[in-house]
A and B are shown apart, each in its own frame.
Chain A
Amino acid sequence: MADPARAARIKRLVELADIERIVETIMENDDVSAAELARRINAKPPQISRDLHGGLRRATLGRLALIAHALDYDFVPALVPRNNTVARARFFDAYRELLPPLSAKAGEVLRPTVAPEKSKGKKREKVRSKQLA
């Protein structure tokens, strides 16, 4: 990307998508549903759904900290200097070690598409996940 401003914007969007994916993965690994997370932070389930569909990119640090705490994680905003490459690499290696495995379910590419019917939703989602696995 020749335009540095556009490159920086894209990088920021990618980082925000990564945060969203980490939250989704933690929820999945720890079997925390959106409804359960909503209960833990005293919010309504649709709010969690909005967070996970792009809302986190507009979330405040306080909201991210609240969600992290509810998932038994700490949210640590960190300013990592770019010039100390060795310490920087150590920092990110240690961080990656702390994260849950982000590609745990082999064969599962994405979550199911069509919103399931309310009554049979969870059951259908489980069947689809099995089919994808």
Chain B
Amino acid sequence: MAKPGRGSNDLSIHDALYRSFEWYWSPDGTMAGLDAYEQMSVREQDDFIASIEHWGNVPEGGRAAQSRVNQEHEDPLIVAIKAGKQRFTAFREESGPTWIVCDNYLKEGRKRDKTGDRAVARTIEKRTSYFDAVKKGKYYERG
């Protein structure tokens, strides 16, 4: 169940050398990614942090290790950050090095299943909503 009342203090995940990471903040004030992260085991959480720390320190234009980050959708670019069998979908903020981490799903087989497809579709929708809200000054500027 989504935890309501998330605030701007909950947004930031990690600032690395070349990339920063934030949770996606829904218009209703929830952060589905953070909810999922908090429900994971400590080992899975560490795995997730290791993935973003590794990728965040890969220079611009470089590739992250395949075991840590995977491209899930080409246009718009959506990636999955790996934490054991958990995958966290993310998109890139338009003008900067920040990646917005949206949703998560459990990848159990070799290939992405329908649950993963739906998570990617939701991420694309959230990306559109994010850019729209940022443009209108209604994303970060909440009371």
Contacts and interface: CB of A to CB of B under 8 A. Distances in A.
Interface of A: 1, 6, 9-10, 13-14, 17-18, 20-21, 24-25, 52-54, 57, 102-115, 128, 131-132
Given A17-B65, A103-B60, A9 B46 contact: yes
Given A6-B46, A9-B46, A14-B54, A110 B67 contact: no
Contacts of B58: 21, 102-103
A53 B63 contact: no
B11 interface: no
Interface stretch (B30-38, B72-80, B121-129, B132-140): B72-80
A103 B57 CA distance: 11
B53 interface: yes
What is the size category of the interface that chain B forms with chain A? Answer: 20 to 34
Contacts of A111: 63, 66, 70-71
Nearest to A112: B71
A8 to B, nearest CB: 10
B66 to A, nearest CB: 5
Contacts of B77: 109
- Which has the most chain A C-beta neighbours within 10 Å: B54, B60, B61, B67? B67
A113 B65 contact: no
Nearest to A28: B63
Nearest to A106: B61
Sort A-B residue pairs by CB-CB distance and give the 8 closest, nearest first: A13-B50, A103-B62, A54-B67, A103-B59, A17-B54, A20-B65, A110-B71, A21-B65
Interface of B: 42, 46-47, 49-51, 53-54, 57-74, 77, 79, 111-112
A45 to B, nearest CB: 15
Nearest to A115: B111
A48 to B, nearest CB: 12
Contact of A24 (B63, B72, B112): B63
Contacts of B79: 109-110
B51 A17 contact: yes
Contacts of A53: 66-67
B61 A110 contact: no
A13 B71 CA distance: 20
Nearest to A54: B67
A43 to B, nearest CB: 18
B74 A128 contact: yes
A10 to B, nearest CB: 5
B140 to A, nearest CB: 25
